[in-house]
Structure 1
Amino acid sequence: MHLVPPDRANRRGIDGHRVCEAVAAIGDADRVRTWAGRFSLLADANRLALPLALHRTGPPAVSDLAITTGMNDPAVSQALRLLRAAGVVERHQEGRVARYRVVDEDIRRLLEHCAADAG
């Protein structure tokens, strides 16, 4: 059980090799925290709907996303602000129109899986 952290090394397990495999599967604690934050951000159905819509379309305007999701414009803007702060989406301005696209590659792969599952 060489992969077991020292603070847990004195505990008896049933299958030591599986414990080591599980510790390796979990990996770096900071990476787990990063993914937990991403999942927390996407745990809200409206916030998840936005990157799902963005993933399959060109960069739509906020008002178009509001129609798509059934949310009002301020709610879409607030959700996009959170997604942008987390580095999931990027905004670009075309005159008075703000358009968004997914820029986080890990999230893009996750959305690809979700989109394949929905089809």
Structure 2
Amino acid sequence: MPTRTVAAPTTDEDLQQWSRRFDLLADPNRLRILHHLHHEPDLCISDLADAVGMRPTALSQALRLLREQGWVAATRQGRLMRYRLVDATVHSLLHTVGADHQH
């Protein structure tokens, strides 16, 4: 298995940023949301709530945090908001921890 070299955080700002990332990833619900969006982009809130087993209000709160971090974006399609994973680092991290998909 080939190894990848990743540059280590070098400044206090870098370390703070990674700490915030890991705090968000430490929550199983948020990690589940990211995993589903990684596999099935452009899900609406009701489909995503069903997929992750959360109430829409709790899911909305988690999505707000993920959007604030810049990991998830939303696009309006008629009356629906569709969510997708947009952060390349999180995308790569999900690949590294075993997310299995076609692209």
User: Given residue 62 of structure 2, which amino acid in structure 1 is its aligned partner?
Assistant: A
Question: TM-score when scaled to structure 1?
Answer: 0.73
Task: Say which SS state the counterpart of residue 93 (structure 1) adopts.
Answer: strand
The equivalent of 1:109 in structure 2 is: 92
Question: TM-score when scaled to structure 2?
Answer: 0.83
Q: Deviation at 1:35?
A: 0.7
Question: Where do 5+ consecutive residues of structure 2 fail to align?
Answer: 1-6
CA root-mean-square deviation: 1.7
Structure 1: how far apart are the matches of 2:63 and 2:34? Answer: 9
CA deviations 1:2-52 (Å, max 9, x no partner) are: xxxxxxxxxxxxxxxxxxxxxx95522211110110110121100111011
User: Given residue 37 of structure 2, which amino acid in structure 1 is its aligned partner?
Assistant: L
Q: Give matches, 1:76-95, under 5 Å.
A: 76-95=59-78
The equivalent of 1:42 in structure 2 is: 25
Q: What number of residue pairs does the alignment pair up?
A: 94
User: Is residue 89–residue 102 contact of structure 1 (8 Å, CA) maintained in 2?
Assistant: yes
1:66 aligns with 2:66: no
Percent same amino acid at aligned positions? 45
Q: Which has the higher contact order (CA 8 A, sep 6+)?
A: 2
Structure 1 segments (4+ residues) deviating >4 Å: none
CA deviations 1:68-95 (Å, max 9, x no partner) are: 1110111111100110011010000101
Larger radius of gyration: 1
The equivalent of 2:3 in structure 1 is: none
Describe the shift of the 1:30–1:96 C-alpha distance in structure 2 as closer, same or farther (beyond 3 A): same
The equivalent of 2:58 in structure 1 is: 75
User: Is residue 52–residue 115 contact of structure 1 (8 Å, CA) maintained in 2?
Assistant: no
